[in-house]
Amino acid sequence: GNDGQFARTCQVLGSPELATNPKFLENNDRVVHGKEIMAIFAGLFLKNKVSYWLKELEKAGVPCGPVNDFAQVFADPHVRARGMEIKVDHPFKHALSLIRNPITFSATPVKDYRAPPLLGENTREVLAAIGYDDAKMEGLKKQGII
């Protein structure tokens, strides 16, 4: 975010002094010291529930949203109301839950839902598409690269 959003976030977190710390003063500084500020923020955010922080950050004009795990995503009332969960067959799991495309057209619905590929499943096709021939792919295979 921008410097103003950072300062307001620090205020909401109860640590306004972070916004004037030279290590975090500008966005580039925060990038350089990213691991440090993330560790500080993680500790501060643990002091309250997600719902509290969302409310307070929104009041302060800081764009925010929760980071949900799959169970939380599929339990979300909006996701459920829009019918966003779809099930696809998967070799390791009979029915894999995915989020469907949020864009819907009545005349041309998206129907091509499939499970994510297995590791290496499409390697040859991808390499062929960027110009690798069979000999080059075999060389990569012998080297243990693919």
For the segment 115-139, what is each residue's pLDDT rounded down to a tens digit? Answer: 888 999 999 999 999 999 999 999 9
Whether residue 85 contacts residue 99, with contact meaning beta carbons closer than 8 Å, is answered with yes
The torsion angles phi and psi of 75, rounded to 5 degrees, stand at -90, -10
For residue 120, the Cα-to-chain-centroid distance in whole angstroms is: 23
Burial class from Cβ neighbours inside 10 Å (0-12, 13-18, 19+) for residue 135 reads exposed
Domain segments of the chain as ranges: 3-59, 68-115, 117-146
HSE-up (13 A, CA, CB side) for residue 71: 0
For the segment 7-52, what is each residue's pLDDT rounded down to a tens digit? Answer: 999 999 999 999 999 999 999 999 999 999 999 999 999 999 999 9
Whether the model clears a pTM of 0.75, i.e. scores above it, the answer is: no
Separation CA 135–CA 138 (nearest Å): 5
Which residues face 97 on adjacent strands? 87
| Residue 140 one-letter amino acid | L
Separation CA 43–CA 74 (nearest Å): 28
